[in-house]
Chains A and B, each alone.
Chain A
Amino acid sequence: MLKIENLHVNYGGIQALRGISLEVPDGKIVTLIGANGAGKSTTLRTITGLVKAASGSIQWNGEELLGKSIDKIVTSGIAMSPEGRRVFPDMTVLENLKIGAYLRKDKAEIEKDIKWVYSLFPRLEERSWQLAGTLSGGEQQMLAVGRALMSRPKLMMLDEPSLGLAPLVVQDIFSIIREINRQGVTVLLIEQNANMALKIADLAYVLETGTITMSGTGAELLADERVKEAYLGKNS
């Protein structure tokens, strides 16, 4: 289980996170929704170690993550598909997957996991030798997810996987997120597309300018008037 307590993060003078606390229980899908600039990406980037926290704590199965190097955090079973996908454009699809397993040494198991990722995303297998930069947005998102899976994470964090994708493609991605979760991977999902995220989430948090303002099950927040007004639009 991932447990964040009273986490503060600043960028120079800007307070991006003002003491947030949240929990991601094992085996669940947890979502963090919020408007642009609320601090969602900052939360994930602090968990991975890309951003340094000012104070607070992030416990992962009882172990403190703050102050650990990124590679140690990845090795401990946390992976992230970053905002904007960030696949390596000059590498092939296969190389992108291999680099996701950079810290692993078990060659045979890596081969197995490549097959596993290809079974989740058959479109990637067809494009194994294609340069990642030439993939469509949806395919790049699949690759970013597949690449993160290659470290064989216990906790998979996704930063706005639906960003800029057509609705049908978004549905594909979300159904695969569910499938990954069914196979035992805990998911922490960040979304502006609150509707889709809340529908698949066991647990949800609302982040507003660096503070958590609401939490509950996905269904609870989906039914909440304030959430409806602020994040779901009138007709949803």
Chain B
Amino acid sequence: MQELLPYLINGISVGGQYALIAIGYTLVYGILRLINFAHGDVFMVAGLVMVYATTSMPFYIALPLVLIATVILGFVIERVAYKPLRSAPRMSLMISAIGVSYLIQNLAFYITGGVPQPVSNPIPWISENVTILGASTKRVTLVTPVLTILLVVALVYLINHTKIGMAMRAAAKDFETAQLMGIKINAVISMTFVIGSFLAAVGSMLYFTNYPSVAITSGGMPGLKAFVAAVFGGIGSIPGAVVGAFIIGLCEEIIKGLGYTTFSDAFTFALLIVVLCVKPTGLFGEKVTDKV
């Protein structure tokens, strides 16, 4: 047990990072019925911006800048690549998302020259070592789950108890009737991309402080894992995405702790296949309704 402890702590932390990404998938799916394939790349861009910003300015300016830049990126992607396809078949939207994903990676390649950008202690306080229950770890490992929970609570409050949240719930159910209430559908959709990108940016900063570098493909794996978490939890459901993310993060780390590191990624994708076969709606998912 004592040997597994660091892995458990790590698992909760990794789960929190997945959760912050997974919420973006699940929110966008909830309202557009779209798997936003570009979301992992938005996550990667946030990492790159963090690397560039923290090396050229103090971190209290750099970190807000990362948040703002990522939010703008998410907003612009929706306006340019998804909004013009509002009444197009869902397949067109999906292809557009895949296109955006490659476009972002190629732009990142152009900017970085394809060289992974080294991460050098961007947020000093968070990278310091601490000891918990006899296990030594970086402070970020403890900060991540706490911050994740706080953000999720804030988001759930926003969705259930504010006017914009009510508009988001209405739009997720029925575009037309939401419009009849006077809700501006485009503003609500933009809002979901803003929230999703904001959370991905937070997740990205926490994630990459633990990594030596950010490469143009760095969004791929965490993006996929978070996507699996969202499907596992029941895509469209926020609690589902969070619970799914923590379960996957924990399982991966436990598998590593047991000495089967090679299989930890395979486990996640095996889980995806099993979920899709056994309970396609996931843990908390409702029946998939086709929206007109």
Contact = CB atoms under 8 A, between A and B. Distances in A.
Interface stretch (B41-49, B144-152, B175-183, B224-232): B175-183
A90 interface: yes
B206 interface: no
Contacts of A82: 176-177, 180
6 A-B pairs closest in CB distance: A103-B182, A71-B182, A74-B182, A86-B177, A102-B181, A70-B179
Interface residues of B, number: 15
Interface string A61-80: 00000000111001100011
Interface stretch (B110-118, B166-174, B208-216, B250-258): B166-174
A100 B181 contact: yes
B184 interface: yes
B166 A99 contact: yes
B291 interface: no
A50 interface: yes
A101 B181 CA distance: 7
Contact of A91 (B169, B179, B183): B169
Interface of A: 48, 50, 69-71, 74-75, 79-80, 82, 86, 88-91, 95, 98-100, 102-103, 147, 151
B180 A48 contact: yes
> B166, B176, B182 — which one has the most chain A CB atoms within 10 A of its CB?
B182
Given A88-B170, A99-B170, A102-B167, A75 B182 contact: yes
B183 A102 contact: yes
A82 B180 CA distance: 9
Nearest to B174: A86
B179 A95 contact: no
A146 to B, nearest CB: 13
A32 to B, nearest CB: 18
Contacts of B173: 88-90
Given A99-B166, A102-B163, A74 B181 contact: yes
15 contacts: A50-B176, A70-B179, A70-B180, A71-B184, A79-B180, A82-B176, A86-B177, A88-B177, A91-B166, A91-B169, A98-B166, A99-B167, A99-B183, A102-B167, A151-B181
A90 B179 CA distance: 17
Contacts of A74: 180-182
Nearest to A79: B180
Contacts of B167: 99, 102
Given A75-B182, A91-B166, 11 more contacts: A48-B180, A50-B176, A70-B182, A82-B176, A86-B177, A99-B166, A99-B167, A99-B170, A102-B166, A102-B181, A102-B183
Interface in B69-104: none
Contacts of B170: 88, 91, 99
B182 A151 contact: yes
A85 to B, nearest CB: 9
Contacts of B183: 71, 99, 102
A88 B180 contact: no
A86 B292 CA distance: 13
Nearest to A73: B182
Contacts of A102: 163, 166-167, 181-183
B182 A88 contact: no
B239 to A, nearest CB: 14
Contacts of A95: 166
Given A50-B176, A50-B179, A88 B169 contact: yes
Contacts of B163: 102
Contacts of B182: 70-71, 74-75, 102-103, 151
Contacts of A79: 180
Most buried by B among A75, A79, A99: A99
A141 to B, nearest CB: 14
B123 to A, nearest CB: 39
A3 B164 CA distance: 34
A69 B187 CA distance: 13
A149 B76 CA distance: 37
Contacts of A91: 166, 169-170
A151 B181 CA distance: 8
Contacts of A69: 184
A175 to B, nearest CB: 25
A149 to B, nearest CB: 12
A109 B147 CA distance: 39
B174 A88 contact: yes
A147 B182 CA distance: 12
A199 B202 CA distance: 63
A110 to B, nearest CB: 12
Contacts of A50: 176, 179-180
